[in-house]
Structure 1
């Protein structure tokens, strides 16, 4: 029986799972002029017995460009605890991609890389929010530390989020600058929870609040005479 390696969220460790089911597709991408393939595989954790589903992309194709065999990427867990999704369409692609990379590195146990990707996501968020409406477009790009302070000064984030932001920046700096530094899985997961919270706060909740205000304003608008007195002026059927 085929076995795949995947991160178990309950055991919080890499486990070898016996494959009990697989859905696979392959094809040819006309725009890219290259083949593609991916698959979903499922099984039970050998330690805690929870069902786990993973996703993998095909990286090698037998007979294509000299490949002698089919190859696949590492399996990324998609159930339980799939990657976080957000409702706002304003979130920059760089932020989304950085969060996905952070999730992959966290599952792989590469927690230093996870910190770096969270820092990249947060820096992209700062630039999106602060540079988009900046009066002087010629200024140097905003870096993470300065961006965090401006978010606080403009009341875009409160003091507690500012404190969390500084912690993330400190972890990112230590991870990125070659320091003798250890980060635990608990630390990485806490930073992930913070990043998800601040993105929801700045993008998702802001969008939802604006939609709420629009509905409230619409309800305040005065109705037309016909709407207000329609039930009075409408002719009644004779008894």
Structure 2
């Protein structure tokens, strides 16, 4: 059984140039009810648009973050918070931390100079929000908290994987010129 209902939309009923029968497909997720519009010949999602993460973020980490966004888009805010936490866990593992507990792994990143004061505080706040989502309680994660979690997690990923690499490139280039 598929998680999607599918509707085919044709402009004129004729196959495309490659012989494929549909111009567009409208998919409706049976789990969350959210529609997706695809340009079938190019296998490209047209709506809702997916904003890609910055280059440099490892695919395994980006996949977790995109799933967090998908949960948010489906109004599953508690699940989005859990996926943000999972993204942080993946980032810590990918960064080579030796500690298993996320609290300690984030401390290790701080102690190794990979994240500083405010970034460490952000990461810990995201961890706590993810714990709130992962463990049953009467309090669910709000839309606003989930939106902030996505923004803060993306900023943290950009710092670790994008800005740090850019800064190192800049420093290396400047040092090469000085020598």
Query: Do the structures match in fold with TM over 0.5?
Result: yes
Considering only aligned residues, what root-mean-square deviation do their CA atoms show, in Å?
A: 3.2
Q: Quick check: 2:132–2:140 contact (8 Å CA) kept in 1?
A: no
Match of 1:125 among 71, 91, 103: 91
Could you tell me which residue of structure 1 aligns to residue 71 of structure 2? 105
Larger radius of gyration: 1
Distance in 2 (CA, whole Å) between partners of 1:38 and 1:213 is 49
Could you tell me which residue of structure 2 aligns to residue 93 of structure 1? 59
Match of 1:77 among 44, 48, 51: 48
How many residue pairs match? The answer is: 150
TM-score (structure 1 length as normaliser): 0.55
Post-superposition CA distance 1:144-203 (Å, at most 9, x none):
111111112222211211211121111111211222222221111101110011111111
Which structure has greater helix proportion? Answer: 2
Question: SS of the counterpart of 1:130?
Answer: coil
Q: How far apart are residue 108 of structure 1 and its match?
A: 0.5
Greater relative contact order (Cα < 8 A, sep 6+): 2
Post-superposition CA distance 1:42-87 (Å, at most 9, x none):
xxxxxxxxxxx954599xxxxxxxxxxxxxxxx9620xxx424212
Q: Quick check: 1:126–1:142 contact (8 Å CA) kept in 2?
A: no
Question: SS of the counterpart of 1:104?
Answer: helix
Q: Quick check: 2:25–2:39 contact (8 Å CA) kept in 1?
A: no
Could you tell me which residue of structure 1 aligns to residue 30 of structure 2? none
Q: How far apart are residue 102 of structure 1 and its match?
A: 0.7
Shift >6 Å, 4+ stretches: none
> Which structure 1 segments of 5+ residues have no match?
1-18, 28-36, 42-52, 59-74, 135-140, 222-239
TM-score (structure 2 length as normaliser): 0.71
- 1:143-158 matches, within 5 Å, as 143-158=101-116
The 10-residue stretch of structure 1 (208-217 or 96-105) with the greater mean CA deviation from structure 2: 208-217
